[in-house]
């Protein structure tokens, strides 16, 4: 927001970019801009009723932000937080209906309740034909339109269109699974299992249902994000390995490289975050720091050392970031193999630090060579 405000204080560039996006979206389906869509666009940038940050936030939410959490309450609270930030950037007018407050966008297609760690791995190897790619683009278009629609009849119409597209998608997926399975010599039982589980999960997941909860997550089928995310930010839950005994077989089946029978749950989020990033994308996590020294963290340390370019690592060694007793760390990395001789910035925050803000402002960052990353951490164990 701060950057947009500095480079485009009058919102002129932002306004032109959003019109370009909308026209491009409509041209792909051979549709002209409607009066309702033009009215929506004008209202969003009407600074007599709205502060400039409203349009910035609205289109950032629509085009750049997605969220997933296994707890439905977390998803609903996230939506509420976004609603509040949009309301605060509007100018109430007691002489207008609803005090002149614009209807809020529909966020069902932006934030979903799902199990991030469990993917549809059996469909990952599927080579989607053009028919499937076309359906995915249509789904994305419908859900983009749903985000901003205000008319109730149009809203229901888009839901019905989405349902029919999903039904068509399932039909095409079943045909493609059978075709590819036959070409690659898959066992018929495996083909039927993929159809009865993974394909049916896609068919049954209604993204418009605020109470919907999926026991899987896939950015392509849920959000239409095919080439990965630019940025992944998270605070994965700290759940000890003793409490996930029943989940371990499923995690192992997912093919995680970092899997060990003693790994705590957050470890798998690192690899999942890495996988759903696009090449060159950035991950930023705050987690327990036990992976840095524990035996179960060896595979994760190797994954990070060999496949990522670590940018920063802050180790809160004894300093309590959260109320619970677990020590934490913040890690930022780029999804690309590290350049030869690469060093990253490292900072250790001891327990005797009184003001974290002041300490970070004046911190004396160390340089750590990524090539010796694992050896250095192993030496601290």
**pLDDT tens profile 99-130:** 888 888 999 999 999 999 999 877 877 777 78
pLDDT above 60 (res 357): yes
User: Do residues 239 and 174 both lie within one domain?
Assistant: no
User: Do residues 139 and 248 both lie within one domain?
Assistant: no
User: Do residues 236 and 137 both lie within one domain?
Assistant: no
Q: How far apart are CA 217 and CA 115, in angstroms?
A: 6
Instruction: Assess contact for 181 and 191: CB atoms under 8 A.
Output: yes
| Domain termination residue (choose one: 220, 236, 262) | 220
Output the pLDDT for position 320: 76
3-state secondary structure (DSSP) of residue 140 = helix
User: Do residues 13 and 112 both lie within one domain?
Assistant: yes
Output the pLDDT for position 182: 85
Annotate 172-204 with three-state secondary structure: HHHHHHHHHHHHCCCCHHHHHHHHHHHHHHHHH
User: Do residues 233 and 185 both lie within one domain?
Assistant: no
For 240, 247, 260, 294, 300, the CA distances from 263, given in Å and listed in that order, are 8, 12, 5, 9, 10
Question: What residue numbers bound the domain in which 86 lies?
Answer: 2-220
Q: How far apart are CA 233 and CA 239, in angstroms?
A: 19
Output the pLDDT for position 30: 67
Instruction: Assess contact for 273 and 217: CB atoms under 8 A.
Output: no
Residue bearing tokens 């947009």: 4
Higher-pLDDT residue of 376, 155: 155
User: Do residues 171 and 236 both lie within one domain?
Assistant: no
Helices (H), the chain: 2-7, 12-27, 35-44, 52-64, 72-87, 121-124, 130-148, 152-183, 188-194, 200-204, 219-223, 248-253, 266-276, 298-307, 356-361, 373-380
Structural domains of the chain, count: 2
Share of the chain above pLDDT 70, in %: 96
Output the pLDDT for position 322: 74
| Domain termination residue (choose one: 189, 220, 251) | 220
Please give the average per-residue pLDDT across 324-333, as a whole number: 86
User: Do residues 213 and 277 both lie within one domain?
Assistant: no
| Domain termination residue (choose one: 197, 220, 243) | 220
Q: How far apart are CA 8 and CA 103, in angstroms?
A: 26
Please give the average per-residue pLDDT across 182-211, as a whole number: 89
User: Do residues 169 and 58 both lie within one domain?
Assistant: yes
Output the pLDDT for position 325: 64
Residue bearing tokens 């998803």: 75
pLDDT above 60 (res 381): no
| Both tokens assigned to 371 | 């090539």
CA nearest neighbour of 266 among 234, 293, 295, 298: 234
Please give the average per-residue pLDDT across 177-201, as a whole number: 87
pLDDT above 70 (res 380): no
Query: pLDDT grade, residue 132 (50/70/90)?
Result: confident
Which residues, at least 6 apart from 203, have a Cβ–Cβ distance to it below 8 Å? 166, 167, 170
User: Do residues 283 and 176 both lie within one domain?
Assistant: no
User: Do residues 106 and 126 both lie within one domain?
Assistant: yes
The total of other beta-carbon atoms located within 10 Å of residue 272's CB is: 21
Output the pLDDT for position 148: 87
pLDDT above 80 (res 93): yes
Output the pLDDT for position 362: 86
Output the pLDDT for position 378: 60
Output the pLDDT for position 29: 64
**pLDDT tens profile 26-73:** 776 666 777 777 888 888 888 877 888 999 999 999 999 999 999 999
Q: Residue 301 maps to which CATH number?
A: 3.40.50.150
Q: Among the listed ranges 58-67, 129-138, 301-310, which one has the minimum average pLDDT value? A: 129-138
pTM for the model stands at 0.90
Output the pLDDT for position 377: 64
Q: How far apart are CA 55 and CA 8, in angstroms?
A: 12
User: Do residues 216 and 231 both lie within one domain?
Assistant: no
Q: How far apart are CA 251 and CA 259, in angstroms?
A: 8
Q: How far apart are CA 140 and CA 59, in angstroms?
A: 15
CA nearest neighbour of 199 among 259, 123, 127, 138: 123
DSSP label at 105? P
User: Do residues 196 and 315 both lie within one domain?
Assistant: no
Output the pLDDT for position 334: 98
pLDDT above 90 (res 329): yes
Output the pLDDT for position 57: 93
φ, ψ of residue 332 in degrees (nearest 5)? -120, 125
The total of other beta-carbon atoms located within 10 Å of residue 9's CB is: 10
Output the pLDDT for position 186: 84
Higher-pLDDT residue of 326, 238: 238
Output the pLDDT for position 228: 95
């Amino acid at each position: 927001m701060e950057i947009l405000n500095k480079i485009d204080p009058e919102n002129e560039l932002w306004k032109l970019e959003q019109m370009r996006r909308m026209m491009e979206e409509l041209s792909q389906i051979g549709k002209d801009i409607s009066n309702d869509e033009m009215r929506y666009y004008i209202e969003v940038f009407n600074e007599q009723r709205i502060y400039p940050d409203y349009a910035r936030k609205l289109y950032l939410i629509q085009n750049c932000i997605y969220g997933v959490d296994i707890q439905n309450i977390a998803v609903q609270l996230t939506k509420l937080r976004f609603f509040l930030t949009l309301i605060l950037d509007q100018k109430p007018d007691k002489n207008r209906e609803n005090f002149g407050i614009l209807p809020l966008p529909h966020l069902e297609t932006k934030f979903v309740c799902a199990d991030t760690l469990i993917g549809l791995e059996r469909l990952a190897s599927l080579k989607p034909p053009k028919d499937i790619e076309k359906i995915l683009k249509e789904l994305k278009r419908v859900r983009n339109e749903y985000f901003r629609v205000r008319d109730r009849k149009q809203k229901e119409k888009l839901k019905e269109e989405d349902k029919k597209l999903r039904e068509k998608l399932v039909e095409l997926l079943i045909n493609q699974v059978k075709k590819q399975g036959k070409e690659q010599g898959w066992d018929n039982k495996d083909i039927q299992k993929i159809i009865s589980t993974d394909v049916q999960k896609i068919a049954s997941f209604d993204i418009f249902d605020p109470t919907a909860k999926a026991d899987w997550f896939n950015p392509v089928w849920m959000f239409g994000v095919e080439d990965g995310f630019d940025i992944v930010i998270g605070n994965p839950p700290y759940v000890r390995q003793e409490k996930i005994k029943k989940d371990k077989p499923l995690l192992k089946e997912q093919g995680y490289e970092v899997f060990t029978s003693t790994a705590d749950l957050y470890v798998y989020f690192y690899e999942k975050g890495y996988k759903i990033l696009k090449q060159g994308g950035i991950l930023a996590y705050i987690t327990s720091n036990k992976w840095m020294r524990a035996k179960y963290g060896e595979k994760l340390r190797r994954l990070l050392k060999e496949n990522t370019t670590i940018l920063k690592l802050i180790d809160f060694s004894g300093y309590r970031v959260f109320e619970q007793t677990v020590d934490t760390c913040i890690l930022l990395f780029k999804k690309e193999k590290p350049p030869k001789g690469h060093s990253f910035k490292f900072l250790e925050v001891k327990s005797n630090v009184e003001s974290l803000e002041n300490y970070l402002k004046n911190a004396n960052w160390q340089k750590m060579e990524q090539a010796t990353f694992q050896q250095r951490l192993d030496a601290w164990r």
